[in-house]
Structure 1
Amino acid sequence: MQRADAFLLDSAINFGPMWLLIWIGYAIDEQSSGDSGEVPAAILSWVGIITMIAAVVVQLIREGRTGQTVGKRVFGIRAVRDRDGLPPGVGLALSRRLCQVLNYPVFGLGWLWAIWDTKKQTFADKITGAVVVTADAGPPRHPVAWGQ
């Protein structure tokens, strides 16, 4: 359960401000007569998109350096390299993030895979050689499944 909770919190941090600003811009545009609301709405939308990009980049750098996004830190887990237990580095964290799209096809099978996998890895984790462990775990590392 920790992985799912961390994912939801990270998603809210990364995308929540963007959707809020876009929604406010839409409300301003709808309340304005003529074209007077289009410029503020467009500005708010672009600020929201830039905010989302900045949040994603900051989270990616955090995960690369420490193995933890804000969500992972709150829920006491971290992503590490399976071969040596060290933080993944920004490159591997980015690769893992990009590979997570492969977890969604076929009813989220890639995410569910972690429930019965011996190392509790999703498809993205397997491809990139990462594992999610409890943050305070010393060697040996203890994988954390989606259902925990």
Structure 2
Amino acid sequence: MPGEAAPWDARAYSSLVDIAVAAGIMTAWQLTLVAISPVLQIGAWLTGGNWNNLVSWSTYTLVFAWWGWQWLERGITGQSLGQRLMGVAVVDEETRRPIGPVRSLMRSLTHVVDVLPLWAGLARPAWDPKRQTWADKIHHTTAITVARPPQVPRQE
């Protein structure tokens, strides 16, 4: 039911989608770098530079861009890509509105509290009455169910 606390499995699946997409992007980038590495090595040799620096900086930039976009999206719309696909939104506990980019980033960083004690905080929504992680409790947020994107009907 839209507006109710999101079930634990929907939250978990949405996180797995976000992680899988990020892993796919990083894998594609690394394969691209391997494919063009001879050109990068020649360019570095001709300029006296180190192509490993380019690889490192471009990889870090891509990682930060991906997660920055996710935090921005979650802050503005209440949903990351995975949450949009699974019909989950992170909202303020009282107003039921998106929490904003800064609060989204802080909430994501606070998930370390959920992870440190044997990942117990991430499993907490399975038994918590409000289905909140410890990061949700700290930031007064909640994950709710919302309408999923429309599905394309199958042809039979």
TM range (shorter): 0.7 to 0.9
The alignment status of 1:55 with 2:63, answered yes or no, reads no
Give the SS at the match of 1:107.
coil
Aligned length in residues: 132
Choose the corresponding residue for 1:68, options 68, 79, 82. 79
Give distance in 2, aligned partners of 1:15 and 1:39: 26
Matched to 1:76, the amino acid is G
- In the alignment, structure 2 segments of 5+ residues that lack a partner are 1-8, 149-156
Structure 1 residue 9, shift from structure 2 partner? 1.5
Provide structure 1 residue ranges, at least 5 long, that are not aligned to the other structure: 138-148
Q: What TM-score does the superposition give when structure 2 sets the normalisation length? A: 0.72
Say whether 1:106 aligns with 2:120. Answer: no
* 1:40-78 Cα distance to aligned partner (Å, 9 max, x none): 444233212111111111111111111000010011110
- Give the distance between the partners of 1:25 and 1:46, measured in 2 at CA: 12
Separation (CA, whole Å) in 2 of partners of 1:64 and 1:25: 32
Q: Which of 2, 5, 15 is matched with 1:7 structurally?
A: 15
CA distance in 2, matches of 1:14, 1:67: 19
Cα separation, 2, equivalents of 1:128 and 1:13: 26
| Percent identity between the two aligned chains | 28
Give matches, 1:1-148, under 5 Å.
1-22=9-30, 25=33, 28=37, 39-136=50-147
**Once the 2 structures are TM-superposed, how far is the Cα of residue 8 of structure 1 from its aligned partner?**
1.3
Larger RCO: 1 or 2 (CA < 8 Å, sep 6+): 2
TM-score normalised over the length of structure 1: 0.76
Determine if contact 1:15/1:52 at 8 Å carries over to the other structure. Answer: no
Alpha-carbon distance between aligned partners in 2 of 1:40 and 1:17, rounded to the nearest angstrom: 21
Task: Indicate the RMSD between aligned Cα atoms, in angstroms.
Answer: 2.6
Q: Which has the larger radius of gyration?
A: 2
For residues 86 and 80 of structure 2, the distance between their equivalents in structure 1, rounded to whole angstroms, comes to 10
**Residues of 2 paired with 1:111 and 1:79: CA distance?**
15
